[in-house]
């Protein structure tokens, strides 16, 4: 594919830069500059600004509200948003469940859920993993028993990101316990305010409330909330996971992180250290290779095909690069990366501001090689689908 930027692409990139400069909310920027965590209202405010511009769902087909951008324009939009360090547009609705709905859903389901998802009126969460079913997702045990025009759902989900804010969730549930594992699963959309839904926080090693466990006790879900056929939810699950793995790669975000790392290395006086410089150069080469792979994946999707096995490659390399970035950042800040110096009798963390989150971020990013299907599972997928093993 031709990766040269045409005059139209350059003009689009300039338009994106000007839009961010003029329309990015000042209060959100102030929070970011002060190191204050963003909340639900912040994420939704930026989502709605992007929706009003028409760029919030660059991958959606035009018939459902997508902007009709080219592959290169999608790439440029993601890159400029990352370089400007804007708040992330959360993927659960726009990039995960929405493609399932517009691919497998009925006309009524599309009309009901796609417009509010696009507008930012629904906050979605994902109910896939369970205490005994993570990478081996097909072993999930959450049950949904049909009673007339409802399912009654019982079970537990875990690591449910930002479920404390969610209006709706998309859940994998077992509707036929006698079938082969993948054949007895259905894909349900569940109102998180339904009686019987309980969200309990899990505080991560960096001290943040990002993930949760979700309990479902006799939750009644209308059958009309099932996407695709009963017991064929695994088809939706695989489709969604392929999109999720492509997004997890987050090439634009890693490029931005690499820029930040170079600046930290310069401030710490180790940018010219031969050993450190070699690690940075190797990382940059790997990131460039990943970028081209992502562009090929975008081209595949624009031709009407979903993400293929390259999504597993993107997931593996993307998360490995993210982890290497945090490792090198921790190496660059040295002793200032101590997670919390208060235990040593000080009033708070020591060292420059950019070092304060180095250790917590390092610990948090350990998870990226596990969620979305562990990297070990992704290697098995590549061996089967690409190498024929």
Mind telling me the catalytic residues? 244
- Sign, CA torsion 207/317/4/63: negative
Whose CA is closest to 82, among 299, 257, 263?
257
Pair of tokens at residue 124: 């979605």
**Whether the Cβ atoms of residue 149 and residue 135 lie closer than 8 Å to each other:** no
Question: Can you tell me whether residue 374 is helix, strand or coil?
Answer: coil
**Rounded to 5°, angle at Cα 292 from 290 and 295:** 110
Query: 172 pairs with which residues across the strands?
Result: 187
Beta strands, E only, the chain: 124-127, 143-147, 150-158, 168-174, 185-191, 197-203, 209-222, 226-227
**Whether the Cβ atoms of residue 372 and residue 388 lie closer than 8 Å to each other:** no
**Whether the Cβ atoms of residue 102 and residue 60 lie closer than 8 Å to each other:** yes
What does the alpha-carbon distance between residue 86 and residue 28 come to, in Å, rounded to a whole number? Answer: 9
What does the alpha-carbon distance between residue 44 and residue 94 come to, in Å, rounded to a whole number? Answer: 12
What does the alpha-carbon distance between residue 323 and residue 329 come to, in Å, rounded to a whole number? Answer: 10
Q: Regarding beta strands 168-174 and 185-191, do their DSSP bridges make them parallel or antiparallel, or are they unpaired?
A: antiparallel
């Amino acid at each position: 594919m031709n990766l040269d930027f045409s005059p139209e692409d350059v003009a689009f990139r300039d338009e994106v830069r000007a839009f961010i400069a003029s329309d990015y909310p000042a209060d959100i920027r102030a929070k970011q500059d002060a190191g204050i965590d963003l909340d639900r209202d912040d994420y939704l405010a930026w989502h709605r600004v992007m929706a009003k511009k028409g760029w919030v769902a660059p991958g959606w087909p035009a018939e459902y509200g997508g902007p009709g951008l080219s592959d290169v324009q999608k790439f440029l939009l993601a890159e400029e948003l990352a370089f400007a360090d804007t708040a992330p547009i959360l993927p659960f609705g726009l990039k995960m469940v929405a493609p399932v709905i517009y691919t497998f859903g009925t006309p009524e389901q599309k009309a009901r859920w796609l417009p509010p998802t696009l507008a930012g009126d629904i906050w979605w969460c994902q109910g896939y993993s369970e205490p005994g079913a993570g990478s081996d997702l097909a072993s999930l045990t959450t049950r949904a028993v049909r009673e007339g025009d409802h399912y009654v759902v019982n079970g537990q989900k875990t690591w449910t990101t930002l479920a404390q804010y969610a209006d709706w969730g998309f859940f994998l549930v077992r509707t036929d316990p006698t079938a082969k594992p993948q054949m007895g699963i259905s894909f349900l959309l569940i109102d998180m305010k339904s009686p019987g839904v309980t969200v309990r926080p899990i505080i991560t090693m960096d001290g943040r409330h990002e993930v949760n466990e979700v309990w479902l006790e006799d939750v009644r879900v209308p059958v009309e909330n099932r996407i695709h056929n009963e017991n064929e939810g695994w088809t939706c699950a695989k489709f969604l996971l392929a999109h999720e793995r492509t997004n997890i790669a987050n090439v634009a975000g890693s490029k931005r992180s690499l820029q930040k790392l170079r600046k930290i290395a310069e401030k710490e006086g180790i940018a010219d250290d031969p050993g450190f410089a070699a690690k940075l150069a190797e990382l940059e080469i790997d990131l460039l290779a990943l970028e081209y792979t992502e562009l090929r994946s975008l081209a595949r999707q624009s031709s009407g095909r979903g993400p293929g096995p390259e999504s597993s490659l993107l997931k593996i390399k993307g998360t490995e690069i993210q982890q290497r970035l945090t490792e090198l950042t921790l190496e660059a800040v040295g002793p200032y990366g101590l997670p919390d110096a208060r235990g040593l009798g000080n009033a708070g963390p020591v060292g420059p501001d950019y070092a304060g989150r180095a250790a917590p971020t390092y610990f948090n990013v350990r998870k990226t090689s596990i969620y979305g299907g562990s990297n070990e599972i992704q290697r098995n997928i590549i061996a089967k689908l690409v190498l024929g093993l």
